[in-house]
Structure 1
Amino acid sequence: MLPEEITNDLAKTVDPKLAEQLIQEFMSLEEAFLLKRWKYTELDGGRFAEVAARIVYSIDSTNVSLTKGVDDCLKYVDNEQVQHHFPERQAAIHLAKVLRSIYKLRSQRGAVHVSPTYTANEIDSRLIVESARWVLSEILRIFVQSNREQVAEAVRNLARFPHPLIRTYGEVPLLQSVSFTTEEEILAHLLYATDGLVISELIATIPKDQSGIRRAVKKLAAAACRQIVQRGQRWFITDLGISRIEDRIAKEIAQNGK
């Protein structure tokens, strides 16, 4: 599932503007984390929590608000004296707890207010990004009609591609950078393709010399490299390949001033 597809599916159940904001804020959060911008990761985590809280509130109260604060949204969820409409009451309660944690960490650990004893760091940022991934997964699980594996894969793909480096045009994906080597393009497309690709699909997808693509595939699969592996006729990216291409994607984003 692509970001646009996830947004469209989510918008069938929740307010379309909130659905769009949720995916955009999540991708901004992932991008900041990928670039090791810890302060911005925490700030973006707070923005994500704001949108997610409004979604939970809008469903639970049947009153859509694009401006209501996190605390006011979650107070409604916690209030046992009002009528609740969220499909899974316990899920709403758990979401409220996690969102409150994200928001408080963002505001109390130095991302918003200057502290003489603390600066934003990777540990706090990792907690925020993993919590946001869980929140998004829960919202998609409840409101998008896909099974758990599809939802998990959708979140992983958003995390891997926070910047739209690959777009699909006429059902054919295109890497929107001319600076990647042939090996890097192969890795990027295999990272993007959850079910792997056969060699003919790689050749059709990558606008480079066919013989060069075949040589690059052979090199990436060699024992000394092991960044891709063949199973049947399909090629899949390995953990070694994922590590290499994610580092390359981060550099590409940084070079473009993101």
Structure 2
Amino acid sequence: MALTVADLESEFSAAGVPAPVAKELFDAFKEMKRRFAVHDLRPNVVEGGRFSEAAFRVLQWLTTGQHTPIGTTLPKVPTLLGTLASSGHASDSVRLHIPKSLAVIYDIRNKRDAAHLADGIDPNVQDSSLVVATSSWVLAEFVRLLCASDPDEAHAVINALVERDIPVIQEINGFPVILKKVAASERALLLTYWSPVPVPFLTLRDWMPKASRQNLRRTLATLESKHLVHVDRDDRVHLTLVGEQHVAQCGLLKPA
């Protein structure tokens, strides 16, 4: 099965990260990426602050086994930086690199004042791009420190993540269930659209009904001839820009 964001969140909890903190971290990250994808830049910076607060709580837990409860105000950033830097048993990434990266996000949020716009400076593409890139790096570092998943695959999930609203698909225990009757080709398109990363052929086959599995190669060949998907040399199925537009505009995303 292809690695998902839900898998990464579960691995954080399995590693001991308090479940509410792990959920807040991933929820904030998903919301940030979603807003950035639709060019909603001001809330994206605000969500960067939310992500940083969750990430600082992860760092507190990593260094002390305790954390500031969600809903309770964190110590000031300079205090957090000093406390984490003095945690002699932790790695440089936990003590120094991640905290300083989070401080950059705080500076953009507070000194640009994305929350209040007191100085009249609107957040822009450069600010938001920096926030997203920095947050992605921080999350990838946490994955490296806490998770057993392949780092390259996890990095691809993090970078590709755009939380899409797909009411026709319900994820049940990591398995995508399509909630209406569709043809095999439409099902393949929907599932590829739903996945945040290219889907390995064997994974896509597992997601298909048994009756559609035997002819999946033929189904994909037909879709590829219409430029809707591309199957690469590693047998991963990519949805093309033409395919994305087709799925979004032809009514496939609407529930029954």
* TM-score interval, smaller chain: 0.7 to 0.9
Given candidates 120, 141, 152, the residue that maps to 1:149 is 152
Q: Percent identity?
A: 18
Given candidates 69, 76, 82, the residue that maps to 1:75 is 82
In the TM superposition, what is the alpha-carbon distance from 1:89 to its structure 2 partner? Answer: 2.6
Q: 1:204 to 1:21 in 2, by over 3 A?
A: same
Partner in structure 1 of residue 201 of structure 2: 196
Q: 1:203 to 1:70 in 2, by over 3 A?
A: same
Unaligned runs of 5+ in 1: none
Higher RCO structure, 1 or 2 (CA under 8 Å, sep 6+): 2
Q: 1:171 to 1:123 in 2, by over 3 A?
A: closer
Partner in structure 2 of residue 43 of structure 1: 46
TM-score by length of 2: 0.74
Query: Residues of 2 paired with 1:205 and 1:190: CA distance?
Result: 20
In the TM superposition, what is the alpha-carbon distance from 1:96 to its structure 2 partner? Answer: 0.8
Partner in structure 2 of residue 237 of structure 1: 238
1:24-103 equivalence runs, <5 A = 24-66=27-69, 67=72, 68-69=74-75, 71=77, 72-78=79-85, 80=86, 83-86=87-90, 88-103=91-106
In the TM superposition, what is the alpha-carbon distance from 1:184 to its structure 2 partner? Answer: 4.2
- SS of the equivalent of 2:200 reads coil
Given candidates 6, 9, 17, the residue that maps to 1:7 is 9
Partner in structure 1 of residue 108 of structure 2: 105
TM-score by length of 1: 0.73
Q: 1:13 to 1:33 in 2, by over 3 A?
A: same
Residues 1:160 and 2:159 aligned together? no
Query: Residues of 2 paired with 1:198 and 1:20: CA distance?
Result: 26
Name the aligned partner's letter for residue 200 of structure 2: D
Query: Residues of 2 paired with 1:93 and 1:84: CA distance?
Result: 11
Render the CA deviation track for 1:6-51: whole Å, top value 9, x for unaligned: 2221112322221121111111111111121101100000000011
Q: Is the 8 A contact 2:21 2:58 kept in 1?
A: yes
Q: 1:4 to 1:199 in 2, by over 3 A?
A: closer
- SS of the equivalent of 2:34 reads helix
Render the CA deviation track for 1:149-176: whole Å, top value 9, x for unaligned: 233134245x134657654436642256
In the TM superposition, what is the alpha-carbon distance from 1:126 to its structure 2 partner? Answer: 1.1
- SS of the equivalent of 2:176 reads strand
Q: 1:231 to 1:13 in 2, by over 3 A?
A: same
Name the aligned partner's letter for residue 229 of structure 2: Q
Query: Residues of 2 paired with 1:205 and 1:34: CA distance?
Result: 35
Name the aligned partner's letter for residue 230 of structure 2: I
